[in-house]
Structure 1
Amino acid sequence: MSEKKLAKTGSSSTADEFDYETGLAVIAPDAVKDPGLEPHRTRMTDKSVKHEKAATRQVAAMFFASAIGSAFAIYAYFAFPLTEDLSTVRNNTLLLGLGITLGLFGIGIGAVHWAKTLMPDAEVSEERHQTRGKEADRARAVEIIKLADSESGFSRRKLIRRSLYSALAVFPLPAIMIFGDLGPNPGDTLRHTMWKKGTRLATDPTGTPIKASDVTLGSVFHVIPEGLAELEHHKLEEKAKAAVLLVRLDPADLKESEERKNWSYDGIVAYSKICTHVGCPVALYEQQTHHLLCPCHQSTFDVTDACKVVFGPASRALPQLPITVDAEGYLIAQSDFTEPVGPSFWER
């Protein structure tokens, strides 16, 4: 091993030696001293009772603002209900979001302001052991935690404590309300739709009945039950369950089981439009492959083979609507779906 060439620089405050082979300065162990902690800066809240009380009121005001914001979110949710008018969606979302934002920021900023102005800010440096400490040390740690709790003023600053309790009590309510309004587990509600024996298939959104002769080879129709467009109540809920895709194929391409031989009409098949993964609308049809694609998570269904899953996270085929024609040539349903529509997780 070759001997390293070292040269004195004549300075003990920077580099004592220089390694010409590595190009790095060699620092003596005692060349740089530990600067220690910076001098503690006393805050105004530590020197002045007036400033301390002002900071306390400011923290409490932020917590109360959080409670007001959460309460406003609840008010906005009910005061601006959602309708089919898109402006109501915008107003509801905007005001609900502002209330929740104020609820979040009030707690967050209040907690930060509390820590910066009222909690002890003395700098402490201590060594930390990697192994479990002695029981005496652990007991001492518990004492320190209790002391820190006492020094934070949480127990004696009643205004801050009560305002924080108020903010924390009201803050979760908008989330509970919103999630609760998603509704209970649908149970058997997805087993029944507006489709029934004799219901005509109609185009979405006009509600115009469809004749079999209107459906050309390779065409796709978005279909709803006749009469859905005239509903005054629960229109969107019923459409969400009853939406159907109507496709016409060459009858020779269909792979139908004996049970489903009469569920189609001259190559025309109807399947639920609601993806069995998480309920997104299946709306993309590939005419060459006869595949239906869900745009949300790319679940792919084979129309020629009972809409079975050929790709993606969906685990169940799209439910098929049995169809036929009436005396006037209009496509009609033979019955409702024979299985629940929508996501499979409801069954679990």
Structure 2
Amino acid sequence: MSDIQLPNSGKSPADEPDAGRTPVRFRNPGLPAHRHRQADVDPRAAKRAERQVLAMLGLSAVGSIFFIVAYFAFPLDGTFATLQVSNISLGLGLGAGIFFIGTAAVHLAKTLMPDTEMFDERHPQRGTEAERTDAAAIMVQGGQESGLGRRPFILGGLVGAAALAPLPAVVLLRDLGPAPGDALAHTLWDEGVRLALDPSAEPILASDVTIGSVFHVIPENLYESDHFLDEKAKAAVLLMRVDPDVVDVREDRAGWDVDGIYAYSKICTHVGCPVALYEQQTHHLLCPCHQSTFDLTQHCKVIFGPAKRALPQLPISVDDEGYLVAQSDFLEPPGPSYWERG
């Protein structure tokens, strides 16, 4: 294989009339002399590298096991302290499991696997039968040269670490929330349940909600639930007050608000992100994840973005003490469309 270099005349090839016809050729210098690694020439260094790889695979397995143990050992009780301990423990375990299996693979490749420089000329994608047979033989030879067959401890450690690495993900699958069905059909909202501030759970007086204000709301009885985090994921609400004249009230929703105070599900109907941005001037609610936009003046109809369904409205009224209360549960399913019930 030869390379071509044009004469150095200080001009571009386009300026040289004979540049394309009078190339200057030079000899291919080839590959530099191969430098053997210490593990290639010293059996003790090879054994040391083997032990290092095995230790990293062991640490990966320990990290995966620690993740599973921490998941059950540090349950959430609703406080930020337990949430912090749980997150840190899970993060350390999962990070160690992934990090050390990666470093073991890199160290194995750099110290024990063959690193002789090779090149192969490009050829048609499908070769002859003889070439295909040779390619299969090369693959077998590569596996033999990798040394894994001669190093059963590393092979066993690699298999063990790889087998344990997916287990944290399997454990996390059970934490995706309630199973479909009746668990998603209803929330904690019911007739007479007071609207309360998130996260203090203090009930909200209608007189405290001024025009232009917005409140993040939960049911007052949320923390009485044994699975209040799951329930909050379904029942979270945004409360806003606007001039009643700006809303085009539908006949079937007359009486669902309190003098311009409206309550809508906070869970985006696209994939369930929290809708947390309210534009006071335009009366738009925005989802920060995928920019779905809902118009409060049209009962939170979708006016932009991937969401296909309006935010469900929570019917509200005022009790004898002046506190805002729910008239009922949502009359349509909150959350992403795949939560819909028949």
TM-score by length of 2: 0.84
Secondary structure (helix, strand or coil) at the match of 1:202 reads strand
Asked if the contact 2:7/2:23 (under 8 Å) is kept, the reply is no
Do the aligned partners of residues 55 and 283 (structure 1) sit closer, same or farther apart at CA in structure 2, a change above 3 Å counting? closer
Counterparts in 2 of 1:271 and 1:60: CA distance versus 1, 3 Å: same
Query: Is 1:141 the equivalent of 2:135?
Result: yes
- List runs of 5+ in structure 1 lacking aligned partners: 1-14
Give 1:217 shift: 3.6
Structure 1 residue aligned with 2:327? 334
Which residue of the partner structure matches residue 237 of structure 1? 230
Instruction: Find the aligned partners of 1:301 and 1:264 in 2 and give their Cα distance.
Output: 17
Q: Match for residue 116 of structure 2?
A: 122
Aligned to 2:278: 285
Who is 1:9 aligned against?
Answer: none
Counterparts in 2 of 1:70 and 1:214: CA distance versus 1, 3 Å: closer
Q: Distance in 1 between matches of 2:6 and 2:270?
A: 69
**Residue 26 of structure 2: SS of its match in structure 1?**
coil
Distance 1:223 1:321 in 2: 11
Q: Alpha carbons of 1:331 and 1:95: their partners in 2 closer, same or farther (altered >3 Å)? A: closer
Q: Which residue among 120, 126, 129 is the counterpart of 1:132?
A: 126
Q: Please report the TM-score for the alignment, with normalisation by the length of structure 1.
A: 0.83
Partner of 2:294: 301
* Alpha-carbon distance between aligned partners in 2 of 1:147 and 1:75, rounded to the nearest angstrom: 41
> How far off is 1:80 after superposition?
3.0
Give the distance between the partners of 2:125 and 2:40, measured in 1 at CA: 37
Range 45-54 or range 309-318, more displaced? 45-54
Residue in 1 that maps onto 2:52: 58
Which sections of structure 2, spanning at least 5 residues, go unmatched?
none
Deviations 1:169-202 (A, max 9, x none): 1111112222332235443323311111222333
Change (3 A) 1:117 1:265: closer
Indicate whether 1:103 and 2:97 are aligned. yes
The separation in 1 between residues aligned to 2:193 and 2:103, in whole angstroms, is 59
Cα distance in 1, alignment partners of residues 262 and 173 from structure 2:
37
SS of the aligned residue for 1:336 comes to coil
Aligned to 1:38: 32
How many Å separate the matches in 2 of 1:332 and 1:164? 59
Query: RMSD in angstroms over aligned alpha carbons?
Result: 3.0
Amino acid at match of 1:260: R
The 1:109–1:247 alpha-carbon spacing in structure 2 relative to 1, beyond 3 Å, is: closer
Deviations 1:68-125 (A, max 9, x none): 2221222233333344433433333333223223222322222222223332333333
Distance 2:208 2:36 in 1: 84
Whole-Å separation in 2 of the counterparts to 1:207 and 1:101: 36
Q: 1:91 aligns with which of 85, 88, 92?
A: 85
Task: Quickly say closer, same or farther: Cα 1:302–1:21, change in 2 above 3 A.
Answer: closer
